[in-house]
Structure formats: structure tokens, C-alpha cells
Structure 1
Amino acid sequence: MRYRLKCTVCCVLLLSLLCIVITGCGSRTELNEISIVSASGVDWKDGKWVMSYQLVLPQAISSHGMGNSTGAAPVNVFSTSGDTIRGAISKASYEMSRRLYFSQNQIIVVSEQAAEHGLTNLFDAYLRNPDSRETVSVFLTKLSARQVLEHLIPLEEIPGEAIERMSLNEEKNGSTLPHMSMYRVLLDLLGPTKATGVASIDISGEDPLNSMQKMSKTYSSSKIKLGQLGILREDKLAGWISHTNSYGVMWMRNQIRNSSLWFPCSSEQPAEQAVMRVNRTKTKLKAKKDGDSWKLHVQIRAKGTLLEYPCDSDLSKPASVEELEKAAAAKIAMLVQDSFKAVQGVKADILGFGEAVRLQYPKEWNAMTSRWNEEIFPETKVETDVQVTIERTGMSTDSFRKMQSKAGS
């Protein structure tokens, strides 16, 4: 009996302690005390950091449409400046009644001027502060970062979230530009070659879509779109490469997911372009020592489906399909060669070449790591081994033009 009583008392005390613990609300966050940041921007102006914030307005999107009955925009943008990035952020309390809440921040846009100045402060802020998310998507822009944040996007409520989805969609279905998170950027810049590529955001048109009144039309004279690939070396912008060269970089980095590849039908029909949907790829990089210099061997294997075929060859013949596969392989090899030269011109190895050298020749790499980007990488060569397999050619073995010619004869 006494044992049971002791057990009962212990249980009551334990439950009492648990109740005290679970009812504590000392670290609570009230929604009416915070401003949710959906996107942020970094500019460098007059020797100071300028931070911009795209704030979500819950009352404007509560009806799940682009604005409420008053025509209010779903977001509000404002900026602060300071000698340091965190210093600029802290000044938000001068003009905001609520604390900035970065846990829902989707993207961070960095201007060309800020990237050219150097982004050590930005990277350090993300590595040190617990309220900064390393999964936030990173973009560059040749405009000011605030301009990008002010631009609305048709069919979307939150522009920052829409830009992130646009980039993810491009990487998944186009594979021309990489989708880069802060984590991936930091990982590359802390890697052997200390270089990475980040997609940029452009605004087409001269009349920016920055008010709900402009959204009332059936078309917009201005729109957000993905631009070129910016190359960061260490913590600064080293240069830009085109969409086409970025596509070649994606092939070398084994980042092609689903993509449409177009190539000439044959040397006799250079103007006619066939199109293949690339479904599966595999790229292997191997470093080779070539005397006193280095060579990168790129092996690519790709499989896909034929989508367009305006050519004259009969696809019922295996020789015609093989010729088409060779033409596709030649196009990929050309993309690799051209993009390799473009990246060499920027003097920033974002291809994984340095990593291949480090793994295969660790002693040689340790001796030349500090000279790799500036001196050695620009003098290296590339050789390609590309094989393409067209798995399906569609329901017809002839082009539509050829079928019309047969029907008329």
C-alpha cells in the first residue's frame, strides 16, 4: 500500500512538472508583431550596402487573388542602407512597426555593382546568423536589386516565390541555367577552384510592372525573365557568359535533367533543324596531364526522343537514325568546346575540372592550386567523347514535307 502511494505521488509530481514545461510560451512569435520577407535584395551604392525587402501584405492576398477589392499590391518594398549588411538590416526598425521575419525569405537578388565590390559580408552574414536560411535561392542582376523586387508577376501573388519557381522550372525542364541556393553557392566558393555560376534576372520592356493598375491589361509591356550566367570567383563577379555557353556548362557539370536539343539535319541541310528531347544523360570528367599542361576529357552519354524532323532521310533505315545521332552528338560536342572557351576567358573554373585534377593528382594540385584560375586553367585543352541514342522517332518515318511530296506524286 505504501509503495503504491509513493508511486502515485511521484506520478503526480512528474505530471505537474511536465505541465509547467509544455505550457511555457517565452519564445512565441505573434503574427501581428512581424513582417514576413518573401524576397530580399543587395545593392552597393555610394560606398554603402543597400538592403531591400519585399514584404508580404496578408490583407491584400487573403482573397487568394492578385490584390483585394481596393487594388492593393500583394507586397510592399522598402530599403535601408548601412556600412555593413547587418547594420543596414537593423535600421529597418527606424521605419517599421514590426520586426523583419526572414524565415520565409525565398530569394536574394544581388546587383552587379554589389557583386563586383565583393560579397564576403553577405556570405559571412549567412554563415553566422541563425535567422538566415542557406536554402534561399540566389540570383544576380545587371539592374538594381530593388528594381527586381518591385516588379509584379502576372498570375502570381508573391513575386519572390514566383521567381524561385521559375528558376526551378528552368533547371528541371530547360537545363540552360542552374538553380543556385545559398548553400550551393557557398559550397562551390569554398571548394577547390573557389568559383561558381549564378543565373541573373532581367526585366524586359521599358515600363516596369510595379502597380496593380498595370495588371488590369491582357498583356504586360514588361516582364521578369532569367538572363545570362554570372561567374563568381572567390567573392567577386568575374564576368558573364551567354545562354548558349551556360547550356554547354550544364552538359559538362552533368546537370541536364530534361532539355530540348536542336541540331542540323546534315551538312547538306544546315538550315533545317531537327529537335530531340533529352531524357537521360551521364557526364564523366577526367583530367589528363599533357606534358606541362592539362587536358580535360569529357565523356557524355545522352538518350532522348525525336520531337521535330524536317529532314529528307528515311527514319525506317537504321543508317538514317545513326546519322541523326551523330549530328546530335556533334552539336553537344560543339556546345562543350564553345562553353569551355567562354569560361576560360573569365578565368574561373566552374566546370569541375580542378576537382578532377585534385582527386586524380593531389600532389600536383597542392602545388598549383593558387595559380589554377589565373594561369593554368586558361591554357588547358578539352577533348570530347559524345554518344547520343535516339530511343524513339515518333509515329512517322518521314517528315511532313516528304509525305506531302509522296502524296502529290
Structure 2
Amino acid sequence: MPVNDLHRHITGTAPNGSRRRHKAGPLALLVLTLLSTLVTGCWDRLEIEERAMILGIAIDKAPDNKIEQSKNLTYFGDPPVTKSPPLQVTLQLAVPGRIPLGPSESGGGSGPGQKPVWIHSATGLTIDDAFNTIQQEVPHKLFWGHVRVIAISKEVAETGLTNINEYLRRNPDVRRTTWMIVTEGDAGAYMRITPQLERVPILYLLSTMDHAVQMGKLPNAFAGVFWSAASSKGTDPFLVYTRLVKDNSVQIAGLALFRSDRLVETTEPLDIGVFMGIRNLQEGGYSTLATIPGSNTAIMYQVTHRKARIDVAIVGDKPEIHVKIHNEGNLKEKSNEEVQLSPEVISEIEKNMSKYTPDYYKKLIRKTQQKGADIFGFGEYVRAKQPSYWNKEIGTKDKWEELYKHIKVEVQVTNSIRRVGGKIT
């Protein structure tokens, strides 16, 4: 179209220069209608002060006396009879204007005698039942977008997390990077702790987990990782197992092993490093005590890097797993000066550690096999490297969990020392 004709078409000008008013009106109305849709961005706004922001959630089995005092907010008459135990849900809610914004009280946040969070709890036959009761008592709408930690008691985890996971996964506001932890004892106590290093309890829990990952002492155990493993045919999920110790501190006590969605076993803290080695999580952070061969001198060896390889072979009618792991680390300390760390002595230390460390890996693997909880994902290696065998002989998660109890897993571990704490003589 010529430029002049295009100009007349847009402006509604006739060839002789007169205005075609009867066509410009509908076109202008259409443009205004389209533009009006771009200026409605705030019609459904919700001020931050009008939200009840959830920072942390704790889920426990409801005490019997709390069940008897039910407030009948979600049912008429007697409560329905269910097989699953009633739950007590405890929330840590942010109080607007009291969350600390800096290192000092004057920098914004809670003042003397003012708590930055509000703890609220309720019981229910299901998790949604408990949340409905809490919402009935909280003036603002509960907002899930800032949930950072979900603590679940060991007692609840042992009954299974299917309903809880379904409820959380269907909530679009729950981040997949939210930490889920299993607690020894009352999970609600984690919402009420008064940590020394943080004024907001949930921020203390969050930093404990995040810093442990950065130091190589913990794998990421987010909610999304748990849900993905629970849905996988060849992997079972795990969570971090924690306990409260003196001075309101939280201790990372090991891993919580799940078969599908049910807690079946817990481990010791050092087993976390063993697990990370098998899973080829390369950054290390755990230290172990060892003895220099032929002496009464103990040394502290810290793993700094790991490398693992997993191979699968079908022997007879069952798969065999072969795991090769290499640990690299530093000698940080020795108990006395009885033995000098010469190159020959260091070589003996490496050989000695490579001889006995496989036992620790085999011990953890046997523990998972006894419970049928493949937290290492060996089943996924079988699916990937032996697909025809998987499709013909296994096919489902239940069958793999049963077969996992009886398969052979070979482990080979080597260790090397890169640095020592002092000069080698």
C-alpha cells in the first residue's frame, strides 16, 4: 500500500482531504478498548499487611486431650472416623513491621519485648482440616509464598506422608526449594525455639541447612527433591533427620530413610558423608579419626572432594551394582608427635584407610537393603543401563523395592591425601 494511502487509512482522511468521521469513530473506540486492558494491573492487589505470611510449618500427631477439645469448625456432630492419626499443625507467622531488617534493633524490626513472629497451632483430622481451623482464628488470609521450612515429627513420618505431600504439592504457592526435615520428638518445638544467632527461628533453621550444604556436610533435601524421588520408579526419598540440643540449637543427626513415602529408618551423622560419596556429590566436608598403622597416634582426615562411578551388570537373573569411590582430603591434625608424617607414612595411611573405609559404605547399603529403601537411586541406573531387563523383570517401584533387598552391591573405595597440617619431614 502506498504511503499516502496508508496515512489516509489510519487517520480516516479522504483523498480530497476531508475527514471520514463515520469510520474513525469505531476504530478509535476499538483502540481505546484494547488499551484499557493494559491499565488494570492492580485491580486484585493485596497489601502485604493484609496477608498472614507463613514462615515455617510443623506437623505432629495430635495429643489425645487436644482431639477431645475439637472445635467442630469443619464438620457437624461427631468427627468422621479415619485410619490416619489426627494432626497438630503449628505455624510460625511473620508479624508485619517486626521482622528485623538489620543487625541492630534500631535498624527496623522488633523492639524490646516485641516478638517478630506469632506462633499459632490447631488440630485436625487432616492437614487441611487443621489449616481451616487456623484460618478461622487468623484475621488475614494465610499466605504460603514465604514458607521456608516444613518440620515433620518422626512419629508422623512413620505413618506415611502421602496425604501431606499431596496437599502440599497441589498448593501452587509452596516452593519446591522449601526444606523438609524430620524431627526427633515434637516438631512444634522447632517453631518456638529462641536461637542465639538469629532473631527469627525459621531463618536460623534455614541458615543451618543452607550452610551445611555449602560446607559439604549435607545434600539438598528440598521438598521438590523428595517429591521427585517419591515419584521415581528406581529411587526412594530421604530427608534430613534433626534433633534439638541444649541452648535451643538444632543438630543434624543423620538422614531419614523412606520407602516410598513412609519413614523406615534413620542413620548416624557420618552416614551423610557416606551417602554423598555413593551419590557422587563431589564436595566433601566431614572429618574422621583414624590411626597411623603400627602406632598409637591418631589423625584427623577431612574429605574435601569425592568422585564415584556406578556400573550395572546382570548376573544370572539379578542385577549387580558395582560402586567405585575415590576420596581426596587433607590431614588436619595428629594426636601427638610420636610419628613424623613422611611420604612413606602418608602412603601407609592412604592404604590403611582404603582398606577399612569400604566397610562403612557397605554397612549403610545393607541398612537400606534391609528396609527396601533405595535412597541411592541404584534402580534408576538399572532402568537406564539395562532397560530391557527392567521392563521385562521389574517394571514397578514396588517390585524394585523388594528386589533391592536381595541384589549384590560391590563397593571399592580409595583415599588420597593432598595436604597435611604441618611440614612433611
TM-score category of the 2 structures, normalised to the smaller one: 0.7 to 0.9
Give the match for residue 61 of structure 1.
99
1:203 CA displacement = 1.1
Question: Structure 1 residues 117, 265: CA separation in 2 closer, same or farther (over 3 Å shift)?
Answer: closer
Secondary structure, counterpart of 2:41 in structure 1: coil
Give the match for residue 337 of structure 1.
362
Conservation of the 8 A alpha-carbon contact between 1:44 and 1:117 = no
Give the match for residue 254 of structure 1.
280
Q: Deviations over 1:252-290 (max 9, x none)?
A: 112242314334243323x53323333322111122334
Conservation of the 8 A alpha-carbon contact between 2:235 and 2:377 = no
Aligned length: 379
Q: Find out whether 1:233 has 2:233 as its counterpart.
A: no
| In 1, Cα distance between equivalents of 2:422 and 2:39 | 65
| In 1, Cα distance between equivalents of 2:235 and 2:345 | 45
Q: Find out whether 1:196 has 2:216 as its counterpart.
A: no
Give the match for residue 126 of structure 1.
168
Conservation of the 8 A alpha-carbon contact between 1:171 and 1:257 = no
Conservation of the 8 A alpha-carbon contact between 1:43 and 1:51 = yes
Q: Find out whether 1:25 has 2:42 as its counterpart.
A: yes
Secondary structure, counterpart of 1:61 in structure 2: coil
Identity of aligned residues (%): 25
| In 2, Cα distance between equivalents of 1:78 and 1:105 | 15
Give the letter aligned to residue 151 of structure 1. Answer: I
| In 2, Cα distance between equivalents of 1:62 and 1:384 | 49
Give the match for residue 180 of structure 1.
221
| In 2, Cα distance between equivalents of 1:171 and 1:62 | 25
Moved more, 381-390 or 335-344: 381-390
Q: Find out whether 1:74 has 2:116 as its counterpart.
A: yes
Conservation of the 8 A alpha-carbon contact between 1:306 and 1:394 = yes
Q: Find out whether 1:160 has 2:177 as its counterpart.
A: no
Conservation of the 8 A alpha-carbon contact between 2:235 and 2:380 = no
1:120 CA displacement = 1.1
Conservation of the 8 A alpha-carbon contact between 1:263 and 1:331 = no
Question: Structure 1 residues 320, 70: CA separation in 2 closer, same or farther (over 3 Å shift)?
Answer: closer
Give the match for residue 51 of structure 1.
89
| In 1, Cα distance between equivalents of 2:276 and 2:285 | 11
Give the letter aligned to residue 51 of structure 2. Answer: I
Give the letter aligned to residue 166 of structure 2. Answer: D
RMSD (CA atoms)? 2.8
Conservation of the 8 A alpha-carbon contact between 2:100 and 2:199 = no
| In 1, Cα distance between equivalents of 2:379 and 2:407 | 11
Q: Deviations over 1:191-231 (max 9, x none)?
A: 124522211221124xxxxxxxxxxxxxx3x3222223211
Q: Find out whether 1:278 has 2:320 as its counterpart.
A: no
Q: Deviations over 1:51-96 (max 9, x none)?
A: 2210112333356457733312221111123233223222222111
Q: Deviations over 1:81-138 (max 9, x none)?
A: 3233223222222111111111010011111222122211111122222222222110
Question: Structure 1 residues 146, 260: CA separation in 2 closer, same or farther (over 3 Å shift)?
Answer: closer
Conservation of the 8 A alpha-carbon contact between 2:235 and 2:378 = no
| In 2, Cα distance between equivalents of 1:273 and 1:290 | 42
Give the letter aligned to residue 264 of structure 1. Answer: A
| In 2, Cα distance between equivalents of 1:80 and 1:388 | 52
Secondary structure, counterpart of 1:22 in structure 2: coil
Conservation of the 8 A alpha-carbon contact between 1:57 and 1:75 = yes
Give the match for residue 21 of structure 2.
none
1:326 CA displacement = 2.0
Question: Structure 1 residues 201, 260: CA separation in 2 closer, same or farther (over 3 Å shift)?
Answer: closer
Secondary structure, counterpart of 2:384 in structure 1: helix
Conservation of the 8 A alpha-carbon contact between 1:264 and 1:327 = no
Tell me the TM-score normalised to structure 1 length. 0.83
Question: Structure 1 residues 70, 289: CA separation in 2 closer, same or farther (over 3 Å shift)?
Answer: same
Give the match for residue 383 of structure 1.
410
Question: Structure 1 residues 331, 171: CA separation in 2 closer, same or farther (over 3 Å shift)?
Answer: farther
Conservation of the 8 A alpha-carbon contact between 2:235 and 2:379 = no
Secondary structure, counterpart of 1:251 in structure 2: helix
1:6 CA displacement = 5.6
Question: Structure 1 residues 275, 22: CA separation in 2 closer, same or farther (over 3 Å shift)?
Answer: farther
1:186 CA displacement = 0.7
Give the match for residue 295 of structure 1.
320
Query: Which has the larger Rg?
Result: 2
Question: Structure 1 residues 6, 284: CA separation in 2 closer, same or farther (over 3 Å shift)?
Answer: same
Give the letter aligned to residue 106 of structure 1. Answer: R
Give the match for residue 74 of structure 2.
none
| In 2, Cα distance between equivalents of 1:361 and 1:68 | 59
Give the letter aligned to residue 364 of structure 1. Answer: Y
Give the match for residue 215 of structure 1.
none
1:394 CA displacement = 4.7
**Match 1:358 to one of 377, 383, 387:** 383
Conservation of the 8 A alpha-carbon contact between 1:110 and 1:139 = yes
Gaps of 5+ in 2: 12-23, 65-84
Conservation of the 8 A alpha-carbon contact between 1:152 and 1:159 = yes
Tell me the TM-score normalised to structure 2 length. 0.80
Q: Deviations over 1:223-261 (max 9, x none)?
A: 222223211111211121222333322211122423143
Gaps of 5+ in 1: 206-219, 399-409
Moved more, 332-341 or 104-113: 332-341
